[in-house]
Amino acid sequence: MSIPKTHPRYVSLNIRDKIVDGVKKGITSIDGLIAHGRGEAFDYLLGEKTTNVAKKSIDSAAALLLLAKNPIISINGNSAALVSKELVQLSKTIPAKLEVNIFHSSKKRELKIKNHLIKNGAKEVLLPQNNCKIKYLDSNRKYVNKNGIYKADVVFVPLEDGDRTEVLIKNKKKVIVVDLNPLSRSAKKATIAIVDNIVRAIPLLIETIKNLKRYNLSKKQLEVIVKHHDNKRRLKESIKEINRNLV
């Protein structure tokens, strides 16, 4: 669909169009449309902008990703449809591996996501393996790659579901999520939750990592930035931001 640039909801409609296109291409599951709708509603309440709180969380996430020994970026159908190119760029900037991990089981869709990432510049994309599982999880997302999520110390999961965030933490991993809903279980359970739209947060995260690298910060300095992050407090601040917009 061609949306005129003058349309007051041009940006939002354009993003929606990308998700619909993802479904048509077989990258995004049809349920992904519902998840996107919930995201849109929260974005509306947040004023469709990156808040100052989100910027602080992005700083902490950037530092944590630079400190990681085995960072991994976990990709699902919605993030592949919206920010494939940016996630590939992020993986090169950190550097971190890319791994496909989807809720609604489909080998065909996993391969489509992988090929879509490769088309967008990825050199290597890991897929889940049938003989490799993380503990304490029943859904399809328990299957992981032994060289990827299985051995990762920090998992970056734009658009995570709450139970897997909890499980990854139980598996002794640090988890960074991007979630527009500050009330969601994923946001609450994450080590660092960035309450923002992935289409805005990922480019900003890439820039932040580049800046931290440019300043050549020591491990200690990066650790201070991470320590500064109090997830519960940041979520409260995000809710207050919504509240301010509402009144």
Piece of 6-14, 59-67, 127-135, 181-189 that binds Mg ion (CB under 5 A): 181-189
- Among positions 148-207, residues that touch ligand ATP (CB under 6 A) are 159, 161-162, 178-181, 184-186, 197-198
186 binds Mg ion (CB under 5 A): yes
Measure the CA angle with vertex 190, ends 195 and 100; round to 5°: 90
80 binds ligand ATP (CB under 6 A): no
Residue 145 interface partner, choices Mg ion, ligand ATP, none, CB cut-off 5-8 Å depending on type: none
Nearer to ligand ATP, 134 or 159 (CB): 159
The answer to whether the bond into 71 is cis (omega within 30° of 0) is no
Residue 146 near residue 132, CB atoms below 8 Å: yes
**Closest approach of Cβ 214 to ligand ATP, in Å?**
27
Nearer to ligand ATP, 57 or 78 (CB): 78
Q: How many CA atoms lie within 13 A of 195 on its CB side?
A: 28
The 10 Å CB-count burial string (b at 16+, else e) for 13-47 is eebbebbbebbeeebbbeebeebbeebbebbebbe
Residues in contact with Mg ion by CB under 5 A are 162, 184, 186
Residues in contact with ligand ATP by CB under 6 A are 35-36, 38-39, 42, 78, 82, 159, 161-162, 178-181, 184-186, 197-198
